[in-house]
Structure 1
């Protein structure tokens, strides 16, 4: 029997934003990178203009799960025609001002696609007011941003068989989904070589990379506990250390708070952050009202490094308590 995802994970990742879908411009042929001597294991054939193909990304650290993806190569005319079609989310293309907002809220796609635990995401701006003059490559995750069901292809785009939600071929939501927030489909990073697409690698030709932005932990409009959780998640330990006294001044942390902070620290395998929490006297064995602990979440994510670390810290904590 498949164990359901613990509520604590949903609580800890309740800040997941409405992800913007985006397309990535295909660099000119003379700017294409040279294929390295050994072909990366995540390389797939580059589809011909006007065609698409289903591919899968196998994360080296999580080889059990192959993340299903849909790779398309649009001509400029085809892409502009698709972009001109009416959809629910008319501002699906991100702009420079939206980047920091995305970074402030972005956590990870670990829930809907565990195999992408360490995948990076970024976007290249395509002006909504102008037509694209270059061919466009789009690599879309075939995982619903809602309940995590695998998407099905349709004549008009994508559909979620669990909720009945529909997106167009560019991944833009076509109609509201119950009481859930509007979400475009997520796009997956890649690097282009002459006739290959290497999945999950950084592309130096892109102007903006979302992972280069760090959450603003000084934003007082965001609850302090939430800011510290983000800082632990992103490894901003220096800033977390500065904010920590203000958090402690508010009173002892509840078991639920301790669990949430530990989960944020283990989510991206931030060893230093886990050790920091333990050094502050937080209990790595703490459980919340649902019976979830940082250790149980680490086991669910099959992160052996975090499982071992939490087990050692838990044994030490128990010994000190006695």
Structure 2
């Protein structure tokens, strides 16, 4: 256990305990909420809850369990597709159920672990458990990811993603029919105020822009092509849910579970179809494409026939 005994600085007077303690201690909000739930935060003799307020100059008696660091485990993923491989990059077609890299609480396979198990050497830049990773896909989202193998590739690709120079095209099957059929969603995304693992459109969030176009419309939903201008966590899922057209199967963000069951979906209908960028070694523009995996293809075919 770690412990601290300190005073609340004037700048945090009146802030919620969860956000104020995260700033004060430099811990993640998840770690602070765990500490508060465990009764590890006492202010002037009173145990704090996460919505309680800090008071300037009050004394805090804090104790918490140190954060468990994620650990890279080399685990084979037989259905991880290798789309392209050279000295600078490896492009993979990630199946659903595989995370981009290890993280606290995730016990399943990862792209980084699968590449290690297959003997790939990736860039050493970045945190130990996510070396070579320049962008991510949700564990439940399938499709294309590029991982840097060389240090120059890591630097160049990180800059390209930051500067919005990478083409990121997704297909998503959503509930209902967006109106208009083609449009742009420009709405900031941040952590959900009351659900720890979810995100939402919130005024204090980060700038996020999603462009969409309806490709096909069915009685029970629509197939969209989506281009991301930014790359926020859960961006497509959050924006489509806020637009009242959640991805089919995405029950975390409000999709109808009965529809998901009827279509045989156990995850969101969302696939990273196309990835284009300037190759960090040759400087030439490269574009990679993917096809729908079996579960999404089957659900879409059923949707078309209903």
TMscore range, shorter length: under 0.3
More helix by share: 1
TM-score, length basis structure 2: 0.24
More strand by share: 2
